[in-house]
A and B are shown apart, each in its own frame.
Chain A
Amino acid sequence: MADAIEKETQTPAPFRRSREDHWLVRGGLTLATLAIIGLLIVVPVVNVFSQAFSKGLATYWHSLTGDADTRHAILLTVTVAPVAVALNLVFGVAAAWCIARFQFRGRTLLITLIDLPFSVSPVVAGLVFVLLFGAQGYFGPWLREHGYQVIFATPALVLATAFVTFPFVARELIPVLEAIGPDEELAARSLGASGWQMFWKITLPNIKWGVLYGVILCNARAMGEFGAIYVVSGRITGQTDTVPLRVEKLFQDYNTPASFALASLLTLLALVTLFVKVGIERHARPRPAKKE
């Protein structure tokens, strides 16, 4: 406790110290925050786990592994999310570099477009893909003739997930790249490094924590995606159901223990992600060094 206060006093000036406020204000705000966090976050999370284990560990394990459709849903989620993240990693790094390093016409427009998936409802995102690749859509009939199906099959899951998680990596990297500045890269170029050498030896090492941070946020969102997937998947049990869809389906089938078991798995993945994120955060956003 004393340690914490010690650190607190070292924070730079713009923040008012908490002790300056009346204790009622401090106490009231703290209580309100704790109550809200408790009610909205802690209770539901604890409830997910208690419901999941309500019928014992054996039932829990059986719910997760005993049903072929559930196994398939898990397999689908642990493949779709990484692939969507990988796509966003490539596009995100490219876009962020482009935006941070160059001034060009339409730069602001590009930034806005990158942010678009944040503001568009996932359901709309899903419908867009149905319009593009559905049997009544623009590319759907042509693809179908050539023996390929996007909507209501696994490719649509990747596309929809990649779309809704698109901003995470790019958004995370733009400020990092801007903060680092182009000096080191220019130096590398002037010393004769090729573009690739510069990217692998200078740019990437500088931004790697930011990249990792973006990837983790992106992954957390990708695994939990429901709305867009619901629209593009066709909800075929054992074929295009991802974990979130499967959770809903089990819940509606009155199979509450299995539904919560699967939900707890998803929550667990989110919690792990969160801990990794906290670990990385320190590296990703270096704060001014503190005196020991």
Chain B
Amino acid sequence: MLGKILGSLIAVYVLGSAIWLAAGGIVREKAPTELMNVACDPSRELWRDVNEKFIADYEAQTGIKLTIKMSHGGSASQARSVIDGLEADIVTLGLWSDTSAVSKRGLIDDDWVERLPHRSLPYYSTIVFVVRKGNPKNIRAWADIVQPGVEVITPNPKTSGNGKLSFLAAWGAELRRTKSEPAALAFVKEMYKHVKVMDSGARGATTTFAQRGIGHVHLTWENEAFLEVQEAGGALEIVYPSLSIRAEPPVAVVDVNARRKGTKPAADAYMKFLYTDKAQDIVAKHHYRPSDPKAFARNRQYFPGLPNENLFPITEIAPDWDTANERFFAEGGVFDQIMSRPK
């Protein structure tokens, strides 16, 4: 008797769960008040802050209370998910070419770059070094990371924006020093011989370096570096090289999804909000460099090293981000060649 009751309870529970889960797949005509922001890995804290402010602001202006869902992961894999049908209203990926890959699949209108100020870049950033306290390996410049015995941590360029930027920063720095591409290639090749662990996303690499204690230098986003050092409570410190790349993580509304879901007005407002003084200050507080020069000047204290003129643009390496991605990271590209011929 007891067994029967228990059996039927379990059956009802499983059946109920099954119905609930299956219903989770039905595309409902939701009230257009739910946005999904598919973002790259190291921007979690930034969006948590921005979302809170934007939701309050938007409610005050329109009376509509939004909810914003977040998804974080390696930039390229996030782009892939959106292409595969993840219902993003907004993509805030780490790398230009990832956003443009989504656009090329027809999900973002072609004119996306020009729709928002500063070429759809509410902020930009760069790649810096994080080292252990006291900088025991005395790492000051790019040349120091390929010294014998130095172990480098940076994520996989195939899946991560941080990974790609580390590669391009190293390449560009050496290119500017030597004015020679073969020298840049040799330098980057040497650098990857020093990479001990290649995580799939920026945050994974941070965990490897800071929490698992592997490696001597961590090449990462400026904002991620500050967070990492702050969390480590004195065990790590930031080193600014004298030169690094101008990293450009664009934002874009995924027009096709937003139009279908009816969230386009809210998504557009969300993106415009990023350029307000309030949002630009939040961005700076998280150590992303605000695009508005006035906001940057106002928040100068968050960026103690690498003045903007020492950030070289992608155009110094390749005509644009897409070409760079194609040349360096596509199947059989420069990165694959480096990795396939270990010497």
Contact = CB atoms under 8 A, between A and B. Distances in A.
B72 interface: yes
Given A144-B85, A235-B73, A86 B14 contact: yes
Nearest to A146: B27
A216 to B, nearest CB: 13
A27 interface: no
Interface in B195-234: 203-204, 206-207, 227, 231
Contact of B13 (A80, A82, A153, A251): A82
B84 A155 contact: no
Nearest to B80: A130
Interface residues of A, number: 36
Between B72, B84, B207, the greatest number of chain A beta carbons within 10 A of the residue's beta carbon is seen for B84
Contact of A251 (B72, B73, B85, B207): B207
Interface string A130-143: 10011111001000
Contact of A253 (B44, B71, B87): B44
A133 B69 CA distance: 22
Interface residues on B, range: 20 to 34
A156 B81 CA distance: 13
B55 to A, nearest CB: 15
A136 B126 CA distance: 34
Contacts of B38: 234
Interface in A224-242: 234-239
B21 A137 contact: no
Nearest to B42: A252
Contact of B69 (A151, A156, A238): A238
Nearest to B10: A82
A152 B86 contact: yes
Contact of A252 (B10, B14, B203): B203
A143 to B, nearest CB: 8
B14 to A, nearest CB: 5
B113 interface: no
B18 interface: yes
B25 interface: yes
B116 interface: no
Interface of B: 10, 13-14, 17-18, 20-27, 36, 38, 44, 69-73, 81, 83-87, 105, 203-204, 206-207, 227, 231
Q: Which 5 A-B pairs have the closest CB atoms?
A: A154-B24, A135-B85, A134-B84, A79-B17, A155-B25
29 contacts: A79-B17, A82-B14, A83-B18, A86-B14, A133-B85, A134-B84, A135-B84, A136-B85, A140-B84, A144-B27, A148-B26, A148-B27, A149-B25, A149-B85, A150-B25, A152-B85, A153-B25, A154-B20, A155-B24, A157-B21, A158-B18, A235-B73, A236-B70, A236-B71, A237-B71, A239-B69, A251-B207, A252-B204, A254-B231
